[in-house]
Amino acid sequence: MTILGERRSVGADLPLSDGGAHDGTVPTEIPASTGAWRPEMGPGNRLFARIGALTLESGVVLEDVTIAYETWGELAQDGSNAVLVLHALTGDSHVLGDAGDSHPSAGWWEEMVGPGRPIDTDRFHVIAPNVLGGCQGSTGPSTQAPDGRPYGSRFPAITTRDQVAAERLLRDQLGIERWALVTGGSMGGMRALEWGISHPDEVERLAVIASSARATADQIAWNNAQISSIQLDPDYRGGDYYGHDSGRGPCAGLGIARRIAHTTYRTADELESRFGNRAQGSEDPFDGRGRHQVTSYLDHHAVKLARRFDANSYITLARTMSTHDVGRGRGGVAEALRRIRARTLVVAIDSDRLFPPELVREVAEHAPRAEWHVAISPIGHDAFLLAHPGLEEWIGALLDD
């Protein structure tokens, strides 16, 4: 294990992601019940793999599972250049590309993946699946069960290991025997770790960014608050809101969950420097109706998520994150991490309150072939989505090794 301890400042002078130039306007057009992808939207850049039945850790069998995914670059004849990119909680398979009718947001990691980028699609064949339990084409609560009705409240609890099992069936269908790299941040990093532990001979390199080997009490507490905000929305209807006569779903509750989450993704210092206690435009917060700038910013992100995500998927995936523990049934976290054989890059963000460096460092301390870096950023957890000179260098070096 190599503990380098290098710190690289990132994000301070770079454009903010997802609303950094927010002008205070809040989109008002939101879906009646769910922002999940639907076939009538068209596939866009998605491909779909029917991976068959999947037996979950709970013993429940999900029949006829579909995984949506996107690819970039050509697979080498010997299959040695395949890279698996795993998204975070509200991400999807659209790592790079324009927004459109089929893809509500532009690519979420275009700084890292693409021609000439650190994960160079002229050199590597990149595959990005939408996670099991998600809502952008893969089997999840909003998709049809075998009886033709949406799963809704019937969708079972799933674990990180279940999600990796689904991704492995996808890999088998694609004829790939070994990953040159498995990488992800946040929830994606949890799955990347599970890949390295569950299938150590199938992962050559591993990059875990702003993630951890286990959920903490703090993470579980924040997830619980977000889940409760959705479940308490009167339009949640126990999870069976699809096609309800009212035409409404728990978009308000999902928006509250997003406000809570987004606050934890950023830092108090960053919010203060951007917004302070200033009013939004001509609005007057003192009259009981006007908003502060930071309130308008959170409203913007709440509506934006409701337009592209599903409340049941949010609950499903937040619960999955809360049960994440690579050491479960394996003799503890340290023993599990020692199973990793891949050359491993572990990156923490110094201002990340959800995945603080001391938590992320646990991975580097026990993975046998790990390099450890701390990136300095005022942004907080969301910095892993932004342009990172350090991260670009570190992943580039890992792939060149």
pLDDT digits (tens, 9 = 90+) for 188-230: 999 999 999 999 999 999 999 999 999 999 999 999 999 999 9
pLDDT of residue 386: 87
DSSP string, 99-135: --SS-SS--S-TTTEETTSSEETTT-EEEEEPPTT-S
Q: How confident is the model at residue 401 (pLDDT cuts 50, 70, 90)?
A: confident
d(CA 292, CA 275): 8
Per the model's pLDDT, the better-predicted residue between 316 and 243 turns out to be 316
The CA-atom distances, in angstroms, between 273 and each of 293, 298, 376 are 12, 16, 17
pLDDT of residue 12: 34
Count the neighbouring beta carbons within 10 Å of the beta carbon of residue 319.
17
The CA-atom distances, in angstroms, between 184 and each of 191, 315, 391 are 8, 20, 12
pLDDT at 22 over 70: no
pLDDT of residue 17: 34
| Amino acid letter, 273 | S
Average pLDDT on 355-373 reads: 98
Which candidate in 262, 300, 381, 388 is catalytic? 381
pLDDT of residue 388: 78
Which candidate in 93, 138, 186, 229 is catalytic? 186
**Percent of the chain scored above 70 by pLDDT?**
92
Average pLDDT on 147-173 reads: 97
pLDDT of residue 13: 32
pLDDT of residue 31: 53
pLDDT of residue 243: 87
186 flagged as catalytic: yes
d(CA 258, CA 254): 6
pLDDT of residue 230: 98
352 flagged as catalytic: yes
284 flagged as catalytic: no
Find out whether 302 and 196 touch, Cβ atoms under 8 Å.
no
Average pLDDT on 332-343 reads: 98
pLDDT at 18 over 50: no
Average pLDDT on 353-363 reads: 98
pLDDT of residue 32: 67
Give the chain's end-to-end CA distance (angstroms, integer).
Answer: 15
d(CA 126, CA 182): 10
Average pLDDT on 281-301 reads: 94
Q: Which domains does the chain have, with CATH numbers?
A: 2-400 (3.40.50.1820)
> What are the respective helix, strand and coil percentages of the chain, to the nearest 5?
35, 20, 45
pLDDT digits (tens, 9 = 90+) for 227-253: 999 999 999 999 999 988 888 999 999
Which candidate in 352, 377, 382, 388 is catalytic? 352
